[in-house]
Amino acid sequence: MEKVFGRPNSLRNVATHYCPGCGHGIAHRLICEVVDELNIRERVIAVAPVGCAVIAYDYWDFDCSEAAHGRALAVATAIKRVHPETVVFTYQGDGDLAAIGTNETIHAANRGENLSVVFINNAIYGMTGGQMAPTTLLGQKTATTPSGRQAGSAGFPLKISEMLASLAGVYSVERASLHAPQEIVRAKKAIKQAFINQMENKGFSLVEVLSPCPTYWGMSPKEALDWIKDALIKEFPLGKLK
């Protein structure tokens, strides 16, 4: 019988530590499918974040580097400059990429580094226990906004992808989501294109992926998917930004 679906070669055959309904497992898998399809497992180098995906290298079966919180794009910049023939990508959450690492993000993008970025936006800090993220919605309750995020004291959801799209050094920015099967297919396509862009020396490509965090949103997995569709997408509309 023909096998039509299986685990990607690049994905290790281990259980993940992620919570039920978390989006990271799906995003990890999409990357591995893309790596397999592009046949680049032997020349891809990943830079893992600090956050829930800190041990992504335990799941991906290709070369990976750790980076200090927020510094993934500085680390990736150097790896790619040293080995231009490799395919280098970072995988970063909203706190990593858009709060503590904003400077590294903007400047790697502005230099037009030939890198691919998978930016997981779940509007919360997961690993540390559900604190406010730069992308947390107004009114959203978190451990550090117990009565909901107030613009007056905590500012507004940061649209870093829109900011990056305005930079001359950036080749491509797209926002996708994991809340429904057809969206997951689109997210994979966007990630694949970001890798192809790098292989064709087009420059800096970023895919923002809206991803569920049922645990710290205080929802069931199904409710979390609905909340992306009904609330998160309104603040962070899907599609190509550049």
| 49/212 with CB nearer another protein | 49
Q: In angstroms, give the least distance from the CB of 51 to another protein.
A: 12
CA distance 69 to 97: 9
| 18/62 with CB nearer another protein | 62
Task: Take residue 42 and report the two structure tokens written for it.
Answer: 């032997």
Q: In angstroms, give the least distance from the CB of 28 to another protein.
A: 14
| 69/141 with CB nearer another protein | 69
Q: In angstroms, give the least distance from the CB of 120 to another protein.
A: 18
Helix, strand, or coil (residue 188): helix
Q: In angstroms, give the least distance from the CB of 87 to another protein.
A: 8
| 160/178 with CB nearer another protein | 160
Q: Which residues of this chain interact with another protein, rule CB under 8 A?
A: 41-45, 47-48, 54-55, 57, 60-68, 71, 74-79, 81-83, 86, 103-104, 106-107
Question: Taking the CA atoms of the chain, what radius of gyration do you get in angstroms?
Answer: 17
Q: In angstroms, give the least distance from the CB of 223 to another protein.
A: 30
Please state, in angstroms and as integers, the Cα–Cα distance from residue 173 to each residue in 34, 36, 164, 204, following that order. 18, 23, 8, 9
CA distance 103 to 126: 22
| 26/45 with CB nearer another protein | 45
| 102/145 with CB nearer another protein | 102
Q: With contact defined as beta carbons under 8 Å apart, do 60 and 17 qualify? A: no
Q: What angle do CA 123, 131, 175 make, to 5 degrees?
A: 15
Q: In angstroms, give the least distance from the CB of 80 to another protein.
A: 8
Please state, in angstroms and as integers, the Cα–Cα distance from residue 192 to each residue in 42, 53, 197, 198, following that order. 16, 20, 9, 10
CA distance 214 to 13: 24
